[in-house]
């Protein structure tokens, strides 16, 4: 069961995590008044802190920084609280959630376009595309 859970997490991470790093998402956040990406690690642009916490917390609605900080407890509240407070001066929850969804759509279409790849069989014998989308992305470059 533990291996299956790790496989599932690894398969979903490219979908769930791309919303924080996709250029399309950064563009949407900048259009709302957030700062552009402050830095890159390799070719990957890092998210602006306030945009990151506001977009991630937007699915909970117009909540205060304390709620966002509690929900994503691995982050220092001293960083989260001012980032969320500043984010609320720029936009509301519905607007940034829409920007997040719109920005995430283009990469999802691109990932889905990789469907012509031949999907190798995992150890369970099920021929399924999700665990192999990242492999196809690498092959296509």
pLDDT tens figures, 125-137: 444 444 444 444 4
pLDDT in tens, 52-91: 999 999 999 999 999 999 999 899 999 999 999 999 999 9
Rounded Cα gap, residues 13 and 30, in angstroms: 24
> What confidence score (pLDDT) does residue 15 get?
76
CB 25 within 8 A of CB 103: yes
**Phi, psi of 75, deg, nearest 5:** -100, 145
The separation between CA 125 and the C-alpha centre of its own chain, rounded to angstroms, equals 30
Q: Is the per-residue pLDDT at 139 higher than 50? A: no
Q: Is the per-residue pLDDT at 28 higher than 90? A: yes
The separation between CA 65 and the C-alpha centre of its own chain, rounded to angstroms, equals 19
Task: Answer yes or no: pTM beyond 0.85.
Answer: no
Helices (H), the chain: 2-21, 23-31, 49-57, 65-71, 77-90, 93-113, 133-140
> What confidence score (pLDDT) does residue 5 get?
83
Tell which wins on pLDDT, 12 or 84: 84
- Binning pLDDT at 50, 70 and 90, where does residue 111 land? low
């Amino acid at each position: 069961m533990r291996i299956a859970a790790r496989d599932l997490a690894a398969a979903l991470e490219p979908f769930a995590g791309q919303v924080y790093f996709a250029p399309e998402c950064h563009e949407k956040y900048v259009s709302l008044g957030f700062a552009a990406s402050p830095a890159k690690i390799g070719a990957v642009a890092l998210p602006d802190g306030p945009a990151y916490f506001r977009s991630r917390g937007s699915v909970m609605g117009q909540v205060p920084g304390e709620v966002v900080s509690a929900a994503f407890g691995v982050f220092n509240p001293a960083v989260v609280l001012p980032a969320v407070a500043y984010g609320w001066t720029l936009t509301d929850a519905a607007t940034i959630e829409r920007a997040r969804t719109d920005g995430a759509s283009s990469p999802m279409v691109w990932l889905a376009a990789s469907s012509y790849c031949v999907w190798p069989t995992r150890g369970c014998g099920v021929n399924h595309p999700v665990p192999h989308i990242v492999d196809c992305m690498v092959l296509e470059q």
